[in-house]
A and B are shown apart, each in its own frame.
Chain A
């Protein structure tokens, strides 16, 4: 029997905005797909672009990074630095042929529970549409 494709999406949420946004979405009983695996980080600026590459090699179908809106960063400027890094890594991954749907970014504030659920739905649909990852596959697991 064919099981429907259920993507694995690593979701990096910043502690101060997007994580609280996800919390609000939960408290408000909003429905969104459960394909996202949430990893809480202190700030979107904490995310090393290598996390994204490594994640894709470890068998993820997509990576979604979310942080505070520009100007709202708890550390004042973390997301501005992150923005530059993300646009470069996204372009580089697209350049080598990774589908642009697999790596996604968003700004979600602590009060935007609705937006969080919407983006989660969109990201899940996008990744489902491009199907299971067939590029960037590690033949042997790093840690068995």
Chain B
């Protein structure tokens, strides 16, 4: 699989199909792969693919506007690319997608905590969104490095568990989680869909919230970011993995994904012809909650 990625990356660079290939190289610390930008064909040997490629590479596409870009994309990364195309941020013709079916990424933090190595690790160390992933094959690609793997239906047992709690318990849980936040905005920087030129936290007029760590402000930030991803989140989990305080951001985004799936039978980034969820409507949309 890695050989095929390297060969294809080398070929497209040599033939001038793309100017740069975005992929992963071996990280400088154990159990970590890090994004790399390959511009020379001979550097293609650096590319790897393993169980620790936890960033979403679609994040970097907008940096190369006007250039032809090759990108190594698994399921969630390809969905993010589709979403960026739908939202007019990148051009399909400028992107060459090397599709890699993906069986999920392993949680580095959890493995280090339990003293596990690559050799004696099992599926229970998968990230939560990888565990319940419903799109493991790239939805869009120009070259596929291996056979497609079996898809599972979307499941949200983690969200359902929280929904069963009482409102008081849910509020306590939410506050416990988000009050760890130090507002470093690593989640925003890691997210492929957070590309606003001016984020709602940085806007002065209207000033939605104050800078600083007041509880109300970190709550607003987390709620607001999650809501801005409604119908756009591809459930790649890059935000949660980037969070230095280990906040369970996915609780909120996966709740919205669940609602979007149940209410509107919609999943973000599956087809270039799709319309954004909040940019369209159906006459028969549910409205039981409206008096």
Interface on A for B, CB 8 Å cutoff? 49-50, 53-54, 57, 70, 77, 80-81, 83-99, 104-107, 119, 122, 135-140, 142
B51 contacts which chain A residues (CB < 8 A)?
none
A-B pair count, CB < 8 Å, reads: 108
Choose, from B13-21, B239-247, B256-264, the stretch at the interface.
B256-264
B167 contacts which chain A residues (CB < 8 A)?
94, 97-99
Q: How far is the CA of A119 from the CA of B291 in the complex (A)?
A: 8
Q: Tell whether, in the assembled complex, residue B219 and residue A97 are in contact, meaning their CB atoms are under 8 Å apart.
A: no
B215 contacts which chain A residues (CB < 8 A)?
139
Do A92 and B171 form a contact, CB below 8 Å, given A53-B224, A54-B220, A85-B278?
Answer: no
Closest to B178 in A: A96
Closest to B260 in A: A88
Min C-beta distance of A131 to chain B, whole Å: 13
Q: How far is the CA of A93 from the CA of B215 in the complex (A)?
A: 16
**Of B163, B172, B209, B279, most A-chain CB atoms within 10 Å:** B209
Closest to A90 in B: B289
Q: Tell whether, in the assembled complex, residue B252 and residue A136 are in contact, meaning their CB atoms are under 8 Å apart.
A: no
Within 8 A of A (CB), among B268-291: 277-279, 281, 283, 285-287, 289-291
A138 contacts which chain B residues (CB < 8 A)?
214, 216
Q: Tell whether, in the assembled complex, residue A50 and residue B200 are in contact, meaning their CB atoms are under 8 Å apart.
A: yes
Closest to B171 in A: A97
Q: Tell whether, in the assembled complex, residue A87 and residue B289 are in contact, meaning their CB atoms are under 8 Å apart.
A: yes
Select A54's contact among B168, B208, B283, beta carbons within 8 Å. B208
Q: Tell whether, in the assembled complex, residue B216 and residue A96 are in contact, meaning their CB atoms are under 8 Å apart.
A: no
Q: Tell whether, in the assembled complex, residue B289 and residue A105 are in contact, meaning their CB atoms are under 8 Å apart.
A: yes
Do A97 and B168 form a contact, CB below 8 Å, given A139-B215, A140-B214?
Answer: yes
Residue B223 at the chain A interface, CB threshold 8 Å: yes
Select B170's contact among A91, A95, A122, beta carbons within 8 Å. A95
Q: Tell whether, in the assembled complex, residue B216 and residue A139 are in contact, meaning their CB atoms are under 8 Å apart.
A: yes
Select B281's contact among A83, A92, A139, beta carbons within 8 Å. A83
Q: How far is the CA of A134 from the CA of B171 in the complex (A)?
A: 11
Q: Tell whether, in the assembled complex, residue A81 and residue B162 are in contact, meaning their CB atoms are under 8 Å apart.
A: no
Q: How far is the CA of A90 from the CA of B216 in the complex (A)?
A: 18
Min C-beta distance of A54 to chain B, whole Å: 6
Residue B207 at the chain A interface, CB threshold 8 Å: yes
Select A97's contact among B174, B255, B277, beta carbons within 8 Å. B174
Residue B230 at the chain A interface, CB threshold 8 Å: yes
Q: Tell whether, in the assembled complex, residue B207 and residue A107 are in contact, meaning their CB atoms are under 8 Å apart.
A: no
Q: A57-B209, A95-B162 are in contact. List 11 more A-B contacts (CB 8 A).
A: A53-B220, A54-B208, A54-B209, A80-B285, A87-B259, A87-B289, A89-B227, A92-B223, A95-B163, A96-B174, A142-B210
Q: Tell whether, in the assembled complex, residue B259 and residue A91 are in contact, meaning their CB atoms are under 8 Å apart.
A: yes
Q: Tell whether, in the assembled complex, residue A122 and residue B291 are in contact, meaning their CB atoms are under 8 Å apart.
A: yes
Min C-beta distance of B95 to chain A, whole Å: 30
Do A105 and B290 form a contact, CB below 8 Å, given A85-B278, A97-B169?
Answer: yes
Q: How far is the CA of A57 from the CA of B279 in the complex (A)?
A: 28
Do A50 and B208 form a contact, CB below 8 Å, given A70-B287, A91-B255?
Answer: yes
Sample of 15 A–B contacts (CB below 8 Å): A54-B209, A70-B287, A86-B289, A92-B223, A92-B230, A92-B255, A92-B259, A96-B174, A99-B167, A104-B291, A119-B291, A139-B214, A139-B215, A140-B210, A142-B210
Q: How far is the CA of A122 from the CA of B291 in the complex (A)?
A: 10
Q: How far is the CA of A119 from the CA of B290 in the complex (A)?
A: 11
